[in-house]
Chains A and B, each alone.
Chain A
Amino acid sequence: MKNELLEKTIHEVSADLKAKKVSSVELTKAALDYLEEIEPKVQSFITITRDEALRRAAEADKRLASGKDVTPLTGVPIAIKDLLCTKGIRTTCASRMLETFKPPYDATVVEKLYQAGAVSVGKTNMDEFAMGSSTETSFYKKTKNPWNLNCVPGGSSGGSAACVSAGQAFASLGSDTGGSIRQPAALCGIVGLKPTYGRVSRYGLIAFASSLDQVGPFGKDVEDCAIMLGAIAGHDPMDSTSADVPVPDYAAEAKKGIKGLKIGIPKEFFPEGMNREVSVAVKDAIAQLKSLGAETVEVSLPSSPYGLAAYYVLAPSEASSNLARYDGVRYGLRIPGENIVEMYSKTRAAGFGPEVKRRIMLGTYALSSGYYDAYYVKALKVRRLIKQDYDKAFEKVDVIATPTCPNPAFRFGEKTGDPLSMYLEDIFTVSINITGLPGLSVPCGMSKSGLPIGLQLIGKAFDEATLLRTAWAYEQATEWHKQKPALKEE
């Protein structure tokens, strides 16, 4: 049975913890019990860390009792995507390749959450090596969408989105290389934020495409997302691409209102023939923002429709290089062979699933002699054109509003036979990774069949505060984020 405390947000339950209305151990036990009760239906987790969670909860209770170093996350159960290294706790990347891998250190973001007093209940399911948009490429299980268990939760951070939507954890961490936080947030009806590239440390994040990957939070509402971002953001000497930029108080910034804010509407994100329910919901949300005092401005991002094509050259190219490390020597699976090349090939053939192999092949091809200029360099040039479009648009506006995804959640197996149809689900999200800008998805509607729709807000580099401010103002005027899924098959 779901304890009513689990319906609360972090900012609500944190007040209860501070007021000693509930202890972290009690809250964590309730969360774990409910998590395990509904897990057979939702399947959000690869590893559940009950003992570890209860130990951290007891520590958090000591901290709460002393009143020292108490943060809004102290004693709050959260979940972590299974591609962030957790010391001594299995970290699989949803791959057979890393089935028994226990990292010898914590990712910086994990360490920061522990320092804030957060209690991790487990590691969430995802697409293998974060390659996918439905979490169906996981070697371990298929996570279900809590709004309709016959539908996918989105991906690649599908477990991190589903567990927050279903109430198994108060918030979670995901990663976003082409939409892997924003898209599952939209499909599961919660808030998800991809920070600016460099805003959050990637140390201990298992690499997919290093110039695109970024860690970010999922929350039940905007304020929870702001709290999570505040806990993980900031410069890290262990990540040479991490930016030394001051971190504002996001939860306070979020509440400043949007009077006079200029919101850009790019026509390229509302193509002819697009899903009507999505376009109506997003246009209604934009009208709502206007009624709250924002001004809307038409902007043009003419190169952005090419973002997906550029992405499917750049991301696989970087991946083919990054995944060369899985060679059966230092960690991960090994299948014996007569000589070292045979051992490499047998190990990689057995350890990687079809989508990962497809992307390694694509990237290897794009980087190979004779094709490097035609594909890789061409995509890098288009990347600059896309960046220039956004730079120009942001001379006129503070934030850009678009749909997060072209469609609500789809059914299992609907797109697995045709990889390109799956890739097209990322059409509105990838250009934000290509440009390094921050993006957020907030619930803005519901399809007739009862599936959530997301509004994507895109901001200037390092201006997550304005995204949170816009989304928070929208939430105050709407109820979408308060709806809860029924965990039913339809």
Chain B
Amino acid sequence: MALSEKDVQYVVKLARLEVTDQEVAKYTQQLANILEYVEQLNKLDTSNVEPLTHPLDVKNVFRADELRPCLTQAEVLSNAPEPQSGHFKVPKIM
């Protein structure tokens, strides 16, 4: 599974990043090295092994559906780059 520059450009788009052509070449080389190292996982036979997503047994945790104090609108918006009339303003979507 050799990684190509096209793969990297595709991933950059999926991850909503931007990189220059020069950077694509560098990242392709670095990521290919890392993936080559990762390939060693294939030396282990895992055909009868279940994936382990979490180190501990985790179960869903519920709490009572009761009103509790929460952040105010002003607090929630206090870090927004462009708040407007109590909302988060964004550029056009469509």
Give residues in A with beta carbon < 8 Å to B: 100-102, 104-105, 197-198, 211-212, 237, 240-241, 243, 303, 306, 308-310, 312-313, 320, 324, 327-334, 336-346, 348-349, 352, 357-358, 360-362, 364-365, 368, 371, 374-375, 377-385, 387, 418-420, 423, 434-437, 461
Residues in chain B near residue A324, CB distance under 8 A: 16
What 1/0 flags go to B28-72 for Cβ under 8 Å of A? 001101110111111110100111111110101101000000010
B81 and A378: CB pair below 8 A? no
Report whether B88 and A385 are in contact in the complex, using a CB–CB cutoff of 8 Å: no
Residues of chain A within 8 A (CB-CB) of B19 are: 349, 357
Could you give 10 example pairs across A and B, Cβ below 8 Å? A104-B75, A303-B44, A309-B37, A330-B80, A333-B81, A334-B81, A348-B17, A357-B27, A361-B11, A381-B51
Bound complex: CA A101 to CA B82 (Å): 14
Q: Is the CB of A361 within 8 A of B31?
A: yes
A contact residues around B50 at 8 Å (CB)? 381, 384
Interface residues of chain B: helix, strand, loop or mixed (majority): loop
Contact of B27 with A358 in the complex, beta carbons under 8 Å? yes
Return the chain A residue nearest B62 by Cβ.
A240
Given contacts A312-B37, A384-B52, contact A330 B31 (CB under 8 A): no
CB-based contact B88/A330 at 8 Å: yes
Q: How far is the CA of A334 from the CA of B88 in the complex (A)?
A: 12
A374 to B75, CA, bound (A): 43
Q: Report how far A198 CA is from B59 CA in the complex, Å.
A: 13
Check A358–B30 contact: CB distance below 8 A.
Answer: yes
Instruction: Establish whether residues A243 and B91, one from each chain, have CB atoms under 8 Å apart when the complex forms.
Output: no
**Chain B residues in 8 Å Cβ range of A313:** 38, 41
> Within the assembled complex, what's the spacing in Å between the Cα atoms of A371 and B7?
11
Give Cα A186–Cα B91 distance, bound, in whole angstroms: 48
Distance of B47 from chain A, by nearest CB (Å): 9
How many Å lie between the Cα of A372 and that of B12 in the bound state? 17
- Residues in A with CB closer than 8 Å to B75 are 104
- Set of chain A residues within 8 Å of B42, measured between Cβ atoms: 378
The answer on a CB contact under 8 Å between A381 and B52 is: yes
Query: A309 near B51 (CB under 8 angstroms)?
Result: no
Does B6 lie at the interface of the complex (its beta carbon under 8 Å from any beta carbon of A)?
no
Contact A348 to B55, CB < 8 A, known contacts A306-B40, A378-B42, A385-B46: no
CA gap between A443 and B40 in the complex, in Å: 32
Contacts of B90 in A (CB 8 A): 329, 340, 343
Q: Do A461 and B91 have beta carbons less than 8 Å apart?
A: no
Determine the distance from Cα of A437 to Cα of B56 in the docked complex, in whole angstroms: 9
Question: What residues on A are CB-neighbors of B37 within 8 Å?
Answer: 308-309, 312, 420, 423
Question: Does B8 contact A381, Cβ atoms closer than 8 Å?
Answer: no
By Cβ-Cβ distance, the 9 closest A-B pairs, closest first, are A436-B55, A380-B51, A334-B81, A331-B79, A349-B18, A381-B46, A384-B52, A104-B75, A240-B61
Cβ of A328 to closest chain B Cβ, rounded Å:
6
Docked pose: A231 CA to B56 CA in angstroms: 23
- The answer, among A310, A337, A345, A371, for a CB contact under 8 Å with B17, is A345
A330 touches which one: B54, B60, B79 (CB < 8 A)? B79
- Asked if A340 and B46 sit within 8 Å, CB to CB, the answer is no
Whether a CB of chain A sits under 8 angstroms from the CB of B78 is yes
Instruction: Determine the distance from Cα of A380 to Cα of B49 in the docked complex, in whole angstroms.
Output: 9
B27→A337 contact, CB < 8 A: no
Chain A residues closer than 8 Å to B12, beta-carbon distance:
361
Say yes or no: is B15 at the interface (Cβ < 8 Å to chain A). yes
Query: Is the pair A378, B41 in contact by a Cβ cutoff of 8 Å?
Result: yes
Q: For residue B15, give the distance in angstroms from its CB to the closest CB of chain A.
A: 4
Of A309, A337, A343, A420, most B-chain CB atoms within 10 Å: A309
